[in-house]
Chain A
Amino acid sequence: MSLTVSRRAVLAGAAALPLLRVPGARAASPGTLTFGLSSYPPSVLPWANTGTAAATVKLMIYRGLTGFAPDGSLRAELAESWAPEGTAAWVFKLRDAMFQNGEKVTSADVKWTIEQVVGEKSTAYLRSQMQAIEKVETPDDKTVRFVMKEPAATLPLLFANFHMPMIWRGSDAKSPVGAGPFVIKAQERGVSIDLEASDKYYKPGLPRLKAIRAIAYADENLRVAALQAGDVDLIEYVPWQSMEAISGDSRLALDAVDGPYMYLVFNAGKPPFNDARVRKAVAHAVKRDEVVKAAFFGRGSGLAHLPIPKASEFFNPAYENAWQFDAVLARKLLVDAGHPNGFTCSFLSTAQYGMHKDSAEIVQQNLAAIGIKAELNLPDWATRVTIGNKGQYDLAMMGDAADSNDPDGIAKAIDGSLSSSYTRSFGLKSDKISALIKAGRAEFDLAKRKAIYQELEALVIEEAPIVGLAWRSQGYAMQKRVTGFKNLPGALTFYAGTTFEDAAVG
């Protein structure tokens, strides 16, 4: 038996190969933008925090009383204006806007929304913050008056949060009706979400797109490959290792900002990290440029102070390098704290996310140089969260983004008066820090607020309730034919989804 294939047949077959070329996965209909999400949102319920991918989709379908403009400033959304009444209340005036079902946005909808968020059975992300509202008054359809239990200068900021959109009061719990620029048309669970422009959106001429097709690409390499192959127009969470290649590609554009940050938390409920000198020794032992280089491929920058971004009006350059690398000072602080020969401690991180693991390995080496032997524990993320919440560690790696560029947005990382959480140091209560956070939140005068936060930062630098390591570069990448989409500065990077209303694909 013989197998014979003629040379001519082989050549003919080879010549036909390019003809197999098929169009990409994207539906190439004009005005439709294909967006590569980093994961499929578990849900897009308005007030729950189900991750940043969900938040991006939420910014397509919902709007709050306020929002963030592309330059990061607070702007009007469903409310056209707002003003405090002394420090006891806030009054918001609503604009003429409609929900996606054609119903008018009224003060009754705002009141109903707040009631759902603070309700007894609520698991809303901003429930405790909204509980600062004593009562919601609705003098007329266009006016909402929030009477506060305690002064809150940050209330308009909270209403800009993507976990605080306003919902039509007649909504069914499982199908909330929002007032955003796009409406969900179809969902393929675990795969994609199809959205189309809402004709009820209150901004004239917006959205510019007819539709968005959001496809989940959990694998970051595939997400980049899909962009490079032309399957998608835009992707979020650009992996750091791909940023250079994308920047060098003439067809693509990268929009990255330093936004989220990596930091260390401590178990201050027991020695040795119950001593501020030891925590400060750690702060001065870390070579932050090595963390940025190894964990983030040089995409980001060192963070040697409280994580208030440069984009914030509260950023204070005087403290920019307050925790800078200084091995001599670090060793002296250890000696002063009674650890001349160093010590051994457990160091919690996770193997599930490379940035957590790589950052921890660099810190481990840096600490070894001053005599601290940190033994790494690298469980999966779920285990890491549980261990962190229970305080079963000495030292732990953490990554997060502030809620906004306002210093109050990092209270969740440093306010020990809040309940125990893996996001802040375990058992570390500082009455002074908590009092300053509260004072900052209650102060309506900008200059006075700045002074309070400067005092707070000085205290944090000394007490080191957390230790900043690095700002992470957070990037979106897109085909150059995409216009109008923009990353937002600093901690607001995850609000870039707001600009889908301005986006167009040529």
Chain B
Amino acid sequence: MFGYALTRIAVALGLIWAVVTLVFLIIHFVPGDPAELLLSQGGVAPDPAAVTELREKLGLDRPILAQYVSHIGGLLKGDLGSSLLDDHSVAEEIALRLPRTLELIFAASLIAVLFGLPLGTLAALRSGSAIDRVLAGVAGLGLSIPVFVVGTVAILVFAQKLHWVPAGGFVPFSRDPLQHLILLLMPASAIAVGLGAVVFRMTRSSVLEVLQRDYVRAAHAKGLRPSRIVLHHVLRNALIPVVTVLALHMGSLLGGTVLVEFVFNWPGLSGYLVRAVEQRDYPEVVGIVLVISIAFVLINLAVDLLYAVIDPRVRHG
């Protein structure tokens, strides 16, 4: 087991290195010079001497291998470098923004589970009924509507028409906890629509499958209360695929909340990545991708551990 864990960690580290290298190379080889861009704001003509000066200052005149070695050296020392745009520490910026994106994802997951899990279970228990069909239809709709449409409609209805909530934005929790949570509600709900539909479907099919198992029939035969059977025998076993799917979606949401962050002006990591790519801010792009890669690996590791908690067979076998 120890050897297996070591191998997994080694593979994960190799994967992270490969991703970082690939991103470093891609971002350097696509056209677009950060020094040129920096001096070309607002459609102005950059002075070539100023561009050369800035390239030297930013170290962009050095051979790409030297830039790569110095960057990897910095990463190994825990230094993610500084933004080419404003010299701000990439690590500090990520430390500021990552929690905002994670908060968004966890809030969305919580809402998705709160709705998806009980409704999925209900649909499975009432399989074939009108409730099942209606819920399946709603879930289908939730899956097929793009998140930016959900977000835009929510803003139109709840902010512009009803004036119940602000259209979007961000206030730090430390400054105004209530306002922070209110601003979190709409973007998290927008993500939760699709995610909740996934949880609903997965729960429904998984519960349906478990309901056919012999031990469930045996529990019924023993005369156990239906609620006890569902909670202790069905859900406990049906949850593994649900947790897997949810975790994988949470991982992909790390880089995939771009549209939601954009639509709701939520200053998280995804929006930061888009800006960094647009500006060809190499240290920022590599730093963000590195963090997302590590988070993805850690989430997968967490899922494996969660399996063991939910299903003792995994723990022992």
Contact = CB atoms under 8 A, between A and B. Distances in A.
A423 B44 contact: yes
Contacts of B44: 49, 125, 400, 412, 423
Given A49-B44, A125-B44, A222 B265 contact: yes
A127 interface: yes
A365 interface: no
A333 B167 CA distance: 53
Interface string A14-55: 000110111111100000000000000011000001111011
A17 B170 CA distance: 23
Contacts of A50: 38, 41
Contacts of A190: 97, 267, 271-272
B116 to A, nearest CB: 15
Contacts of B33: 386
A88 interface: no
Q: Which of B97, B159, B169, B178 has the most chain A CB atoms closer than 10 A to its own CB?
A: B169
Contacts of A125: 44
A382 B280 contact: yes
A403 to B, nearest CB: 9
B278 interface: yes
Nearest to B229: A1
A385 B40 contact: yes
B214 interface: no
Interface string B26-56: 0000111100111111111111101001100
A298 B69 CA distance: 53
A428 interface: no
A352 B264 CA distance: 20
Nearest to A494: B42
A385 B37 contact: yes
Given A222-B264, A225-B155, A229-B166, A389 B36 contact: yes
B98 to A, nearest CB: 13
Interface in B154-197: 155-156, 159-160, 162-172, 178-179, 182-183
Interface in B110-130: 122, 125
B265 A218 contact: yes
A400 B166 contact: no
B156 A225 contact: yes
Interface string A354-383: 000000000000000000000000011111
B7 interface: no
Contacts of B57: 121
A434 interface: no
Contacts of B280: 382
Contacts of B156: 225
A228 interface: yes
Interface string B49-69: 010011001000000000000
Q: How many residues of B sit at the interface, in one of the four size bands?
A: 35 or more
A422 B43 CA distance: 8
Contacts of B88: 189
Nearest to A412: B45
A221 B86 contact: no
Contact of A229 (B167, B179, B263, B271): B167
Contacts of A215: 169, 265
Contacts of A216: 265
Contacts of A21: 162-165
B262 interface: yes
A226 B169 contact: yes
B12 interface: no
A222 B166 contact: no
A63 to B, nearest CB: 20
B163 A221 contact: no
Nearest to B151: A222
Interface of A: 1, 3, 17-18, 20-26, 42-43, 49-52, 54-55, 121-123, 125, 127-128, 188-191, 215-219, 221-222, 225-226, 228-231, 352, 379-383, 385-387, 389, 398-401, 412, 418-424
Interface of B: 30-33, 36-48, 50, 53-54, 57, 85-86, 88, 93, 96-97, 122, 125, 152, 155-156, 159-160, 162-172, 178-179, 182-183, 226-227, 230, 262-265, 267, 271-272, 278-280
Given A17-B164, A190-B271, A383-B31, 9 more contacts: A127-B47, A188-B170, A191-B267, A215-B169, A225-B156, A386-B33, A412-B45, A418-B45, A420-B48
18 contacts: A1-B227, A26-B166, A43-B86, A49-B44, A51-B42, A121-B57, A188-B267, A191-B170, A222-B167, A222-B263, A225-B155, A229-B155, A230-B163, A385-B36, A385-B37, A412-B45, A423-B44, A424-B45
